[in-house]
Copies of this chain bind each other. A is one copy, B any other.
Amino acid sequence: MKHDDTIVALATPAGAGAIAIIRLSGVEAISIASEIFESVSGKELMKQNTHTVHLGHIKDRDRVIDEVLATLFKNPSSYTGEDVVELSCHGSNYIQQEIIQLCLRKGCRMAKAGEFTLRAFLNGKMDLSQAEAVADLIASDSAASHQLAIQQMRGGFSSEIKELREQLLNFASLIELELDFSEEDVEFANREEFQKLIKKITVVLKRLIDSFATGNVLKNGIPVAIVGEPNVGKSTLLNALLNEDRAIVSEIPGTTRDSIEDEITIGGINFRFIDTAGIRETEDLVEGLGIRKTFEKMEQAQVVVLLLDASIVKSEKFSVNGVNAEIEKIKNRFPQKQLVVIANKVDEISEEQIKNLQSTIVDLQLMSAKTGEGVDELKATLLDFINTGALRNNETIVTNTRHYDALLKALEEIYKVQEGIDSDLSGDLLAIDIRQALYHFGEITGEITNDDLLGNIFANFCIGV
């Protein structure tokens, strides 16, 4: 992968603001910046120290485009490890575009998605999992996803992998050394120590692989299906969850075309609420279709909230058996999913009716979304479903599908190594399995890589990162 050219891109979000930053990186970053930047003090940019800031004007020949600050980062003390210049200009769309166009005319190339971070990786400023964490960090929108990303960016995950890899590599070398002396029947690699290491690696890999279930939902938000009739108070509930927490609500397009998901942060963790219809038995064809859709949506959820309208106990249509049948149906169909049953609008019924409901429906939570009663309890219940212990204890949590796949493959190879040890496999065959495991470790941190893999990873970045 060639990177002897100089790239440029807008590094700040698109749009107008007080300040925008245009970043140049590469061998000619400083010389190109010098061509278009005229310092107010008259000093030459080329001769300034790294990590210094200079006031001046961006000029296209005689035409002044803006008054800017130019910040110098000299190779290797920069984000990319190359010479970097950051031009901090007034945040007008027009000025941003004019300066970028000018840089392009002076010999810069427009940066591709993630190319600054790719260069940082290629220049050894960070390993591959740290580079991937940069994109996660920028996308993070809750305390949990932020904590996971920053932990990974600071190398918590890869340092653990690297250490195991080094120890394993050491044994691989010793075992391969034995092969050179095979006629002398020596054992450089202490088999007991090796056995211990393989055990340790197995434990760590299993823990990391298990953590993915938690990591994945913490990063992407926990999908919660709310099952309930249209008038049951779903939006009041969502607003109640929202208002109390001053959380971020956004409407993100759902996985199905006709559904909109509400994203709410509770206790620093994102929950994605999927709206569904009820699932009571029906002979009606149209409602039957609705039920199939409801099941499809519940399939995507990790938690199912069955929201009942408590006020219907006053109506003749209400039947405790009907509700319990509905609960059973959900439990039978989705035994793995967490279920919360809530009776909303309890402010509209009497104490006795409440007691009656509680005695006939198991684990019923009471709520009045309108008055706020029971909202905190629901929050606590939702948070209980998540293994936040790992997060609190700052344990390494895997959030990336690519890492998860590599860890699974590494574990498979480690099992083979274990089998080899158990069956006294010859050193040369053992070495092959160890090398395979090492390969998958290396894929995570980027010691093993190729252009296709890097292309796939960085294509998901934004331009300017």
Contact = CB atoms under 8 A, between A and B. Distances in A.
A19 interface: yes
Interface stretch (A51-59, A162-170, A352-360, A363-371): A51-59
Contacts of A95: 137, 140, 146
A458 to B, nearest CB: 13
Interface in A286-300: none
Interface stretch (A6-14, A202-210, A310-318, A323-331): A6-14
A372 interface: no
A465 B137 contact: no
B18 A15 contact: no
Interface in A1-42: 10-21, 23
A462 B16 CA distance: 10
A13 to B, nearest CB: 4
Contact of A92 (B10, B54, B71, B141): B141
Copies in the complex: 2
Given A51-B53, A53-B51, A15 B16 contact: no
A94 interface: yes
Interface string A76-93: 000000000000101111
A200 interface: no
Interface in A409-445: none
A146 B92 contact: yes
Q: Which of A11, A18, A54, A145 has the most CB of B within 10 A?
A: A18
A141 B93 contact: yes
B53 A18 contact: no
A141 to B, nearest CB: 5
A464 interface: yes
Interface string A101-141: 00000000000000010000000000000000010011111
Given A66-B150, A137-B92, A153-B67, A20 B16 contact: no
Contacts of A88: 21
A76 to B, nearest CB: 13
A14 B14 CA distance: 8
Q: Which of A142, A145, A146 has the most CB of B within 10 A?
A: A146
Nearest to A143: B94
Interface residues of A, number: 49
B16 A139 contact: yes
A10 B11 CA distance: 15
Q: Which of A12, A19, A141, A462 has the most CB of B within 10 A?
A: A19
Contacts of A462: 16-18
A154 interface: yes
Contacts of A94: 140-143, 145-146
A38 to B, nearest CB: 13
Nearest to A134: B90
A215 B36 CA distance: 28
A48 to B, nearest CB: 10
Contacts of A137: 66, 90, 92, 95
Interface string A59-72: 00000111100010
Contact of A11 (B18, B51, B92, B141): B18
A465 B153 contact: no
Given A53-B53, A141-B92, A64 B150 contact: yes
Contacts of A20: 12-13
Nearest to A151: B64
Contacts of A98: 146
Contacts of A154: 64, 67
A378 to B, nearest CB: 24
Contacts of A66: 137, 150
Q: Can you list the 8 inter-chain pairs with the closest CB atoms, starting with the nearest?
A: A13-B17, A13-B15, A18-B465, A12-B12, A51-B53, A11-B19, A18-B464, A11-B18
Given A21-B21, A92-B137, 18 more contacts: A11-B18, A11-B91, A12-B12, A12-B17, A13-B16, A17-B464, A17-B465, A18-B465, A19-B21, A64-B154, A66-B137, A66-B150, A67-B153, A67-B154, A90-B138, A92-B141, A94-B140, A98-B146
9 contacts: A11-B17, A11-B19, A12-B19, A18-B23, A18-B462, A19-B23, A53-B71, A65-B146, A94-B145
